[in-house]
Amino acid sequence: MQEFELKFQVPWPQRSALEAALRQRGATRRVRLQAAYFDTPGRELAQAGLALRLRKEGRHWVQTLKAAETDAWRRFEHDVRLRSMPPMVDPTRHAGTPPGDRLLALVRRAGPLAETYRTEVWRRACRIEHRLGHVELAFDLGEIRSGERRWPVCEFEIELLDGAPEAVLEVAEHWMAHFGLWLDIRSKAERGDRLAKGLLSVPATSARAVTLPRRATLAQAWQAVLTAIWAHVGPNVCELAQDDPQAADHRVEQVHQARVALRRLRTALRFFDGWPGVPDTAAAQDAARAVFARLGLTRDRDVAAALLAPVWAAAGVSPPESAMRMPAGSDGVAEALRSAEAQRLWLQLLRWRLAGPGPGGEVPFAPLATKRLRSWHRAVVAQAAGFSAMDDAQRHALRKRIKRLRYAVDFAADLYDAGAVKGYRRALAAAQDCLGQLHDAAIAGARLADVDAPWAWYARGWLTARREALWPVCQASLASLAEAPRFWKTLRGKRPG
CATH number at residue 134: 2.40.320.10
Cβ atoms of 440 and 462 closer than 8 Å: no
Cα–Cα distance for residue pair 303/309, rounded to 1 Å: 10
pLDDT at site 257:
95
Q: Write down which residue in 184, 199, 214 finishes a domain.
A: 199
Same domain for 192 and 248: no
Cβ partners under 8 Å of residue 101, min gap 6: 95
**Quick one: which of 183, 208, 468 has its CA closest to 347?**
183
pLDDT tens digits, one per residue of 258-300: 999 999 999 999 999 999 999 999 999 999 999 998 888 777 7
Same domain for 378 and 447: yes
DSSP string of 224-273, one letter each residue: HHHHHHHHHHHHHHHHHHH--GGG-TTHHHHHHHHHHHHHHHHHHHHHST
pLDDT at site 497:
42
For residue 367, cis peptide bond before it (omega within 30 degrees of 0): no
pLDDT at site 175:
97
Q: Domain range spanning residue 121?
A: 2-199
pLDDT at site 287:
96
Q: Is the dihedral of CA 264, 265, 266, 272 positive or negative?
A: positive
pLDDT at site 443:
80
Q: What is the mean pLDDT of residues 26-42?
A: 93
CA distance readout (Å), 136 to 423, 424, 482: 52, 50, 56
**Quick one: which of 275, 234, 257, 288 has its CA closest to 412?**
275
DSSP string of 274-310, one letter each residue: TSTTPPP-HHHHHHHHHHHHHHHHHHHHHHHHHHHHH
Cβ partners under 8 Å of residue 244, min gap 6: 200
pLDDT category at 58 given cuts 50, 70, 90 is confident
Q: Which residues pair with 391 in a beta bridge?
A: none
Cα–Cα distance for residue pair 162/34, rounded to 1 Å: 26
pLDDT at site 111:
83
pLDDT at site 294:
87
pLDDT category at 331 given cuts 50, 70, 90 is low
Same domain for 235 and 179: no
Q: Report percent pLDDT > 90 for the chain.
A: 71
Same domain for 230 and 195: no
Residue 187 pLDDT exceeds 50:
yes
Residue 310 pLDDT exceeds 70:
yes
Q: Lowest mean pLDDT of 2-16, 180-194, 207-221, 480-494, name the range.
A: 480-494
Number of domains in the chain: 2
Phi, psi of 206 (to 5 degrees): -95, 170
Q: Write down which residue in 164, 183, 199 finishes a domain.
A: 199
Residue 330 pLDDT exceeds 50:
no
Q: Write down which residue in 199, 218, 241 finishes a domain.
A: 199
Q: Which one-letter amino acid corresponds to residue 101?
A: D
Q: Percent helix, strand and coil across the chain, each rounded to 5?
A: 55, 20, 25
pLDDT category at 208 given cuts 50, 70, 90 is very high
